Structure 1
Amino acid sequence: MTIEEKMEHFRMISLESANNQSAESLSSYKKSLDDDLEVYKDNSKRLAEESKRARINQVKSDCKKQLASSQMAIKKDLTKKQSEIKVKVFDIVRKKIADYRTTPEYIANIKHQIQSVLDEYGDSELTVYIDSNDSALLDELKSDFNCNIQVYDKDFLGGTRSIIPDKNILIDYSFKTKLMEEQEKFAITL
């Protein structure tokens, strides 16, 4: 083989070797880029999912806040409405009490209250108070019952209050007290 042939052969082997190395480098570089692309895609997907989850959680949180705010507003409105209804109901009850106080049944009820106190505590010193608006009944009640009956200086919506001082007992049959007890217990349920 001549030098030129040897040179040509050397050049061919060198070129082939360079091409092989270049192809290997290119293949390696392409594989590295492909790997980097996959890592980038995975990271992008993960970040997108995290961002999506964060947005969903933010929306849920905002919805919960709005729901809580709406519930509070509804409860406030409901409580206000219940209070209004309660006031109206007890205004009606007060009117019915006022109407009842003009009936003979009311006078019979007063007499029954006084009699029940006398039946239980008649042997003790006691004072029975009637409402200031019932002062017209005082003479009739004193003639019917042999006990100390007085007009109370403040209005208690009717009924009677009895005091037995030696036993420290107050018997309160006043409509005002009963009405207050009912107002405390009164609840509107849905």
Structure 2
Amino acid sequence: MQSTSMEQARAEGNAIIDSHREALEKVFEDHKAEALRQSETRIKAETTNAKLSLNQATAKSQLEIKRRQGKVQQELKDKIFEEANSLVQDYMQTEDYNDFLVKCIRQAVKYAGEDPVVIYINPSDEKKRSDLEDATRVRLTISAEDFIGGVRAVIRSRNILIDNSFKTQLRNEYDKFMFLGGDGIA
């Protein structure tokens, strides 16, 4: 009887231990699965954060590059137009410039037709005034404004300004000027 009781007690103890072991193994498996899910979620979140940080850093770098590029392009543009202005000053010392002035004066007079026209030359061209008046038979006015060179004509009766001044032409070119990328995109 004692051996039967002991056997039965051992069987019940083994059953309790087996049941407890199974319960612990289930808790362990559940815990393992939850830990795996949490680690996958964390990896996804960290990956997303890393990509976001990388995108932000890339965008910031690109913005800085564009800012620097814009600054360099502006400096180069200013330098190009300083050189262009210097070339204009050199051109204004040539006989071709005098011919250009005569041509502009004649075109303005022709365009005005019968209407009175006031033709302005730049203050720097004042010494050329009498030669230009002799060549064109037109009375010229010295402009109060320095427009670098060239000619401006006003036909008041039609509210027309004919602007063949270098200042306006240089400004228009400066405003339109853009550096194009190697692929033709500004």
Equivalent residue number for residue 47 of structure 1: 38
Deviations 1:68-99 (A, max 9, x none): 22112111111110011011100100000000
Q: Which has the larger radius of gyration?
A: 1
User: Structure 2 regions of 5+ residues with no counterpart?
Assistant: 182-186
- Percent of pairs with identical residues: 28
Distance in 2, Cα, partners of 1:161 & 1:39: 91
Q: TM-score, normalised by structure 2?
A: 0.91
Distance in 2, Cα, partners of 1:17 & 1:91: 109
8 Å CA contact retained: 1:125, 1:164: yes
Equivalent residue number for residue 147 of structure 2: 156
Residue 116 (structure 1) aligned to one of 93, 107, 110:
107
Equivalent residue number for residue 170 of structure 1: 161
Distance in 2, Cα, partners of 1:22 & 1:30: 12
- State the shift of 1:46 in Å: 1.4
Counterpart residue identity of residue 99, structure 1: D
Equivalent residue number for residue 4 of structure 1: none
User: Structure 1 regions of 5+ residues with no counterpart?
Assistant: 1-7
Deviations 1:85-133 (A, max 9, x none): 0111001000000000011111111111111112221211110101110
Counterpart residue identity of residue 71, structure 1: Q
Distance in 2, Cα, partners of 1:147 & 1:108: 15
The 3-state SS of whatever aligns with 1:173 is strand
Distance in 1, Cα, partners of 2:139 & 2:101: 15
8 Å CA contact retained: 1:126, 1:147: no
Q: TM-score, normalised by structure 1?
A: 0.89
The 3-state SS of whatever aligns with 1:102 is coil
